[in-house]
Chain A
Amino acid sequence: MRIAVLLKQIPDLVEDLELAPDGTDVDREFLAFTLNEFDDQALEEALCLKDAGDAEVVAVALEEPDVDQCLYTALAKGADRAVKLTGAGEGWIDGHRRSAILAAWLATAEFDLILTGVQAADDLDGQLPPLLAARLGLPHASVVVRVELKGQVALVRQELGGGTVADEELRLPAVIGIQAARQAPRYASISRIRQAQQAGGLEEVGAPATDAGPGYHLVRLLAPEAAGHAQMLGGSAGEVAERIVELIRAKGL
């Protein structure tokens, strides 16, 4: 059983996002990047599948800021291989193009199961799991919170919203977008990550060429103009608490 886990770096949303001069991307120069939180869940689920049976886990990422660190972390946590696809270009790459590059490489490597995070905050032209599955001609399910393997079938639990879930069986190979792993993601100590770095072993492969794109015209990005804004309560913690209690009481509660 060979499992690919796709990892992606995204701008850390704790920071302010400034726009680049042409207005169609964020200014990446001073941004901190971090692993998409759902990818950490996908990696955890892959490692749980490995723990439960006989699987090889391959972490795959496009070259992006700080991506080496995240691939070495995957190795430190127990991934068997880490592959970086290089030369796809800098800046924001739309989902259609990303999916075409990843699909072209994945098609050559004979995976039984491809796990990704359910989505990332910089999605504009759709989520990667279905984009990828459509290109590879594979069955897929997103917003998945449980994966079990039974021979060449994946048993998955897909959240449909409002607390309703569907249990599904997908014949492998398949692409699954993970919302949450069965347990909180494991931790890799700095020293384990260093060890992985020193051991090297990051495979670099040239990204397959593609002319795929989103097919629309992105006019500009802009900061939203809020329809409203909360009335801010100033003062000390005690004063703010006083006001909040009054507000609750005023509602008859």
Chain B
Amino acid sequence: MSNDVLVLAEHRDGAVSDVTFELLGKAREIAASWGGRTVALLLGQRELAAELGAADTVQCAEHAALETYNPEAYEAVVLQALEQLEPRLVLTSTTTVGLDLGAALSVRWDAPLVSYVTGLSAGDGTALATAQIYGGKLLAEVELSGPRALCAVLAGSFPHAAGRGETAPTVETLDATGLLDDLRTVVTSVVSPEGGDVDITAADLLVSVGRGIGSQANLEVVEELAEALGAPLAASRPLIDQGWLPKARQVGKSGLSVKPKVYLMFGISGAPEHLEGMRDAELVIACNTDAKAPIFDVADYGTTVDLFDLVPELVSRVAG
């Protein structure tokens, strides 16, 4: 065992993901208090190592099977790295990569895992994690006192400035020979999002609608408002999965991230996966009949008036 903190670096479309810098900043803080090092693990795309200067060392593995995320290939290489490096704490994010790998490594490397972590501090010989549960309705405080642990951190939980290092890190090579010869998982293609009929990421004003709308037929109500305001209509995931609106309208973790000047939302509860896509909006106005909906913890202005009462009033004021 060491006192090192290891960060699994993530990249997409040839760039290091923002959440990786959040993890690096937090890792440095914890490693410093334990007297250990900060290690970044970078699979594929070795040229990105230069950006990971907040780490003391970057461990790189390269192989054709690691160019883009392949659950089985990544898992094999990360597992070997953990066995060799024996970090005390491993930080991943709660993206698809983090979700897939975290739990599998927890079993295979035999280390406890806390998922959806939003707070993390080093105690005397322990780590104390705070994690969201029940869609953010409750928090769990968890003590990790064993010799190794994994935490999957919710994006947006820590500042990323502390994880952007100035100096070039030491880069070392991890040997993946023999690990990736007989994979049962093959990635055949990676498809980036297609442009939709409208670009919701470019709008200054967005009207966004969630499951509170109840049915596809009811969508007309908010469509009329969006039109009157000259704003595109965005939505939460369940509406897209129902096929009520095209995928290019989805805001959130697995959809698009938006930063409008005003985000006007109706019938959206504020699940962490939705917040991930609209946290940077300048002004958030939320309509939700449930006064305890988590969205009111992040919105600037809120109302519990029923959307079916409110939207027609808005339409008449804007159109009139």
Contact = CB atoms under 8 A, between A and B. Distances in A.
A30 interface: no
Interface in B153-174: none
A34 to B, nearest CB: 13
Contacts of A163: 192-193, 247-248, 250, 254-256
B283 A140 contact: no
Interface stretch (B30-38, B54-62, B80-88, B312-320): B312-320
B100 A141 contact: yes
A129 B100 CA distance: 8
Interface stretch (B1-9, B41-49, B302-310): B302-310
A162 B237 CA distance: 12
B interface SS class: mixed
B299 interface: yes
A240 interface: yes
A199 B169 CA distance: 66
Contacts of B261: 251-253
Contact of A164 (B104, B193, B283): B193
B190 A160 contact: yes
Interface string A110-153: 00000000110111111111110111000111110000000000
Interface stretch (A58-66, A73-81, A168-176, A189-197): A168-176
Nearest to A100: B107
A245 interface: yes
A223 B262 contact: no
Contacts of B107: 96, 99, 130-131, 134-135
A160 B97 contact: yes
Given A161-B12, A161-B253, A222 B205 contact: no
Contact of B283 (A171, A221, A232, A247): A247
A161 B113 CA distance: 22
A224 B69 CA distance: 34
B152 interface: yes
A159 interface: yes
Contact of B134 (A122, A141, A245): A122
User: Which of the four size classes fits the interface of chain B?
Assistant: 35 or more
Contact of A124 (B115, B144, B248, B296): B115
Contacts of B314: 241, 244-245
A131 B112 contact: no
A74 to B, nearest CB: 19
A29 interface: no
B254 A159 contact: yes
Contacts of A128: 103
A237 B253 CA distance: 32
A183 interface: yes
A240 to B, nearest CB: 5
B141 A219 contact: yes
Contact of B113 (A19, A126, A218): A126
Contacts of B247: 163
B178 interface: no
Interface string B98-115: 011111111110111111
User: Which of the four size classes fits the interface of chain A?
Assistant: 35 or more
B70 interface: yes
A17 interface: yes
B131 interface: yes
Contact of A216 (B114, B137, B300): B114
A205 interface: no
Given A135-B107, A221-B133, A227 B297 contact: yes
A141 B71 contact: yes
A127 B142 CA distance: 17
A108 interface: no
B293 to A, nearest CB: 10
Contact of B193 (A26, A162, A183, A216): A162
B297 to A, nearest CB: 4
Interface string B224-266: 0000010000000110011100011010011111000110100
28 contacts: A121-B133, A121-B134, A122-B133, A122-B134, A124-B114, A127-B99, A130-B99, A130-B103, A139-B71, A143-B96, A161-B95, A164-B12, A167-B188, A170-B185, A171-B184, A180-B241, A216-B142, A216-B143, A218-B140, A219-B142, A221-B141, A224-B132, A224-B139, A240-B310, A244-B264, A244-B314, A251-B262, A253-B204
Counting from the closest, the 5 A-B pairs by CB-CB distance are: A163-B193, A126-B103, A230-B302, A215-B112, A241-B313
Given A141-B100, A242-B317, A248-B205, 18 more contacts: A19-B138, A95-B103, A125-B113, A127-B99, A129-B100, A130-B99, A131-B104, A131-B106, A134-B103, A135-B107, A159-B96, A160-B97, A165-B191, A168-B187, A171-B185, A183-B243, A230-B298, A232-B304
Interface of B: 12-13, 68-72, 95-97, 99-108, 110-116, 131-146, 149, 152, 184-193, 204-205, 229, 237-238, 241-243, 247-248, 250, 253-257, 261-262, 264, 282-286, 290, 292, 295-306, 309-310, 313-314, 316-318
